[in-house]
A = this chain, B = another copy of it.
Amino acid sequence: MSSLSLFKDVPFAEKLEGSLLKAYKQDDYPKKLFLAYRVCMTDDGHPWVSLVVQKIRLQIAQDPSLNYEYLPMMGMKSFIQASLELLFGKHSQAIVENRVGGVHTVGDSGAFQLGAQFLRIWRGDAQTVCIISAQKELYGPVFQAIGFTVYEYCIWNPKKLFTDPDIFLEVVEHIPVGCVLVIGNIVDCRLTQSQWIKLMSIIKSKQIFLFFDIPCQGLSTGDLEEDSRILKHFVSVGFEFFCSQSLSKNFGIYDEGVGVLVVAALSNRHLLCVLSQLMNYAQALWLNPPATGARIITSILCNHALLVEWKKSLEGIVENIMLIKEKVKEKLRLLGTPGSWDHITEQSGSHGYLGLNYQQVEYLVKKKHIYIPKNSRINFTCINTSNISYITQSIHEAVIFTRDSQAS
C-alpha cells in the first residue's frame, strides 16, 4: 500500500545545518564543549536575557486591559517607529523626511524572505545576489529558494587575521552590474575615507541594490550608534536600500523572531509604494506578525528609564565578552602558545575567529571534544570560568601539535 503514496517521490531532505551540534550531542565524553551556539550565553551557561525584558514580560502578563487582537498586516506601528529610531537615531534627517519605513517581520529570516520576494518581482533584471560578510550567513538559501543565483564572500582574512576592507572592495569591484548586494554584520571592517568614497562610487555606477543586515545592534561594540554606523552613512548620502533589523538577540527574545524589514527610499512617495507592495507579500507569508516580542521591545524603547536600563545591560554583556577574550589571550600568553592572539580582542561582538587552521580545529574536536566550526569562528560567551582553562590548554596543545606534526 505504501508504494502508492502521493509522497512516493519525495526524498529525505539533507539538513541545512546542525551537523556540528548533532555530533556534539552524540558525544558521550563528560567534559565535551560546544562553542558555536548562536546566542549570547551567561556565565552559568544559559541564553542571555536582558533583565529589563523579564520585568516587562511580567508587567504585560499582568495587564488586564491589553488587547490580543490580530496586529495590522504591516505589524505593530509603534514598534516599527521605535525600531527605526533605534537604527537611524531619533533625529535622523531620513526619519524627519519620512523616507524610511519598515514592515514588522517574523525575525530576520522573515525580513530577508519578504525583501527577496519584492526584489524578485520589482528588480526582475537582478538575477544575482552577492552576500558579503565576516562569516557564513544563514540567508543565502532564502534568496536561492526564490530563484536568485547567490554568491557568498567572506571578508575575514584568515592569513592577516582581520576583517579585510581590501577584500570587501575587490569583491564589490567584481560583482555584476545591477545585482543585489547583501552586506552582513561587518562592524569590524574599517574602511578609510578614500575606500568609502570608492565603495559608494562603484555601488552607484553599477546600480547595485543594497540589502543590509543589522542582526544585533548594540551587541557588537556595546554602542548602539556605532553598530549601525554603516547604515547611517549610506542613508545620509541618499542611498536607497533594504535592511533586515533583528531585535531578538539584543533583547534576548530569541524564541519570538522580532524583526523589521527597513526600507530607505529617496522620497516618502516611493517609500509608501514599496511598503504597500511589501504588505501584500507579508499577507501571504504570515498575515500578521507575532506581537509578544514587539510589545516587550516597544515598551522598553519608548520609556526613558527602561531604555537606559536596557542599554546598561548591553554594555554589561559586551564588557563581559571583552573580559572573556582578554582572559583567553592572557592564558594563551602565559602558556607560551606560539603566535599572536591579538586578533581575538580586536574583533567585536560575541562571535569571533580563533584564527586556527582546519588541522587545529580538527584536533580540538576529535582529541579534546571541543566542538567548534571548521573556520574556527566561535561564540566567546560559551567560554566561562569553569571551562576557560580546559579550552585554552586545548588550543595550546592543538597549536603545538600541528606545529610539531608539520615539522616532522
Contacts and interface: CB of A to CB of B under 8 A. Distances in A.
Given A39-B70, A68-B254, A290-B290, A7 B61 contact: no
A303 interface: no
Contacts of A107: 286-288
A97 to B, nearest CB: 11
A38 B286 CA distance: 16
Contacts of A70: 38-39, 254-255
Contacts of A61: 54, 57-58, 60-62
Contact of A266 (B2, B255, B269): B2
A39 to B, nearest CB: 6
A150 to B, nearest CB: 12
Interface string A174-193: 00000000000000000000
Contacts of A96: none
A62 B253 CA distance: 16
A16 interface: yes
Contacts of A238: 1
Contact of A270 (B10, B62, B142, B288): B10
Contact of A288 (B69, B255, B279): B255
A291 B106 contact: no
A140 to B, nearest CB: 10
Contacts of A283: 16, 109, 138, 141
A47 B62 contact: no
A285 B110 contact: yes
A225 interface: no
Contacts of A141: 280, 283-284
A265 interface: yes
A30 interface: no
Contact of A13 (B145, B255, B277): B277
A340 interface: no
Contacts of A266: 1-2, 4-5, 7
A256 interface: yes
Given A255-B291, A269-B2, A276 B13 contact: yes
State the oligomeric state as a number of copies.
Answer: 2
Contact of A255 (B12, B68, B272): B68
Nearest to A67: B47
Given A47-B69, A273-B11, A287-B138, A292 B256 contact: yes
Contacts of A286: 106-107, 109-110, 113, 257, 286
Nearest to A290: B290
Contacts of A195: none
A172 to B, nearest CB: 17
A290 B10 contact: no
A49 interface: yes
A71 interface: yes
Given A10-B122, A61-B57, A257 B287 contact: yes
Interface string A218-255: 00000000000000000000101000000000001111
Contacts of A207: 6
A267 interface: yes
Closest 9 CB pairs of A and B: A255-B291, A109-B287, A290-B290, A61-B61, A13-B276, A292-B292, A106-B286, A2-B267, A58-B61
19 contacts: A1-B238, A2-B266, A5-B270, A6-B207, A7-B240, A7-B266, A10-B270, A10-B274, A68-B253, A68-B254, A69-B254, A108-B287, A109-B286, A110-B285, A113-B285, A113-B286, A138-B287, A255-B291, A257-B287
Given A58-B62, A255-B291, A256-B290, 5 more contacts: A1-B266, A4-B266, A13-B276, A54-B64, A255-B292
